[in-house]
Structure 1
């Protein structure tokens, strides 16, 4: 099962979550709903070099995908999904992404 970490207020997250609705191959984890899920995400984010660029840009690094082999990625395509189109909302302070 592929885990997808994110928040329901993030347009990039909701875009990929819609693609996996009712698909048992994916587990959606909205870490805005429970502190234990937030802590699990922060442990990933704080200790994984995949987030280096996101941290440098001040981005959250979501949606985040933990693949079945344990590899962490920020690419929906690596999880078999489509990225949100570039036009539209972004949740970073500078409008460049989430």
Structure 2
């Protein structure tokens, strides 16, 4: 199962939630529902260098994907999903 750490109030996360609805291959973990889940995510974020640039920019680093082989990625396509299209200004 692929875990996705995020929050429904994040547009990128909400876009993914719609894609995985009813799909048992994915688990969406809403880090805003309980401090335990937030700490779980922060432990991943604080100990993985893929978050270093995001943290410098003041970004949270969600959505975050934990693949079946325990690889951590921030790329939806690596988890078999589609990223939210970038809106034109």
Count how many residue pairs are aligned between Structure 1 and Structure 2.
88
Match of 1:52 in 2: 52
Match of 1:92 in 2: none
Structure 2: state its 5+ residue gaps: none
Structure 1 stretches of 4+ with a deviation exceeding 6 A read: none
Match of 1:11 in 2: 11
Provide the TM-score with structure 1 as the length reference: 0.87
Q: Does 1:38 align with 2:33?
A: no
Q: Does 1:72 align with 2:72?
A: yes
Q: Residues 28-50 of structure 1: CA distance to partner in whole angstroms, max 9, x if unpaired? A: 00010011110000000001011
Match of 1:20 in 2: 20
Q: Provide the aligned C-alpha RMSD in A.
A: 1.0
Provide the TM-score with structure 2 as the length reference: 0.96
Structure 1: state its 5+ residue gaps: 89-98
Give the drift of 1:63.
Answer: 0.3
